[in-house]
Amino acid sequence: MLSVNEYKKSMESTLINVFGCLHGVKQLTLEGFLLQFLAAGNVPERLPTMYNHLKNLTLNINFENLDQLSVALCLCGSSPNLQEINAKVHSTNAASMPHESFWGVQEGFDGLFANLRIVTVNEIIGSKNELCFIEFVLENAPVLEEMNLKIREPVDKAHSRIFRDLMGFRRASPRARIICLGK
């Protein structure tokens, strides 16, 4: 009898089935539970077909969910001309366990954000996984111009850790500006 993980890995990729016919898409918005649905089956590092026309990707994402993160990175890795990412966070637990092992293996994505210029992350709460994603983008986006971060809670002294961490992140782009907005 197969375990749940073995069964899931043996399934054909929903992501490949859904995106197989969208080669000319220029802008893509994935909301609701669509990222979780697309994670069903085996999520590849990259799709079999590159989405050369995709310039703008909007996601409603839970950074605590590795399946959703895998789908998001697969889409980014399959979109070499991606210029803008807009993410609305629906994480609910700032004290979640960080997924260092997940982020530690994300090194095989040469050119992942080669043309990425603007990233906006809305409703962040400062979880370790959100900060790992932001750091990952900053380290891998050589032409990034703006990283816009909108914090969910009113900005106070408790958020100084977020700002301190952000300022310490290495940036691939010397022009990258981090803009933090709170309520």
For 133-155, the pLDDT digits (tens) are 999 999 999 999 999 998 877 66
Domains held by the chain: number: 1
Owner of token pair 């992501």: 15
**CB-side neighbour CA atoms (13 Å) of 179:** 11
Whole-number Å distance between alpha carbons of 143 and 141: 6
Show the tokens assigned to 57: 């990707």
What's the CA gap between 74 and 92, in Å, rounded? 23
Range with top average pLDDT, 16-20, 65-69, 88-92: 65-69
- Residue 7 pLDDT level (bands cut at 50, 70, 90): very low
pLDDT at 10 over 50: no
pLDDT in tens, 12-22: 556 666 666 67
> What is the domain extent for residue 69?
4-181
Q: What is the CATH number of the domain that holds 162?
A: 3.80.10
